[in-house]
Amino acid sequence: MPLKCYHAFELTSQDEAITRIDLHCNSLEDAKERAKQLVQDRPVELWEGPMRVARFEPYN
């Protein structure tokens, strides 16, 4: 099964993308787990093509 490409975006406090990370994963669930691991002090959104599929907030 070919890998799907997802995009994770690190966001500013104004929800502007400052970093894009391409994630090549077997499934949406795999992509969500990888995107969660990217969260540090900024929110991360996960996109599949033109559709946002998840948003992860930093732990405070």
Domain residue extents for the chain: 4-56
**DSSP letter string, 3-59:** PEEEEEEEE-TTS-EEEEEEEEESSHHHHHHHHHHH-SSS-EEEEETTEEEEEEPPP
pLDDT value of residue 46: 98
pLDDT value of residue 59: 82
pLDDT value of residue 19: 97
pLDDT value of residue 60: 65
pLDDT in tens, the chain (60 residues): 799 999 999 999 999 999 999 999 999 999 999 999 999 999 999 999 999 999 999 986
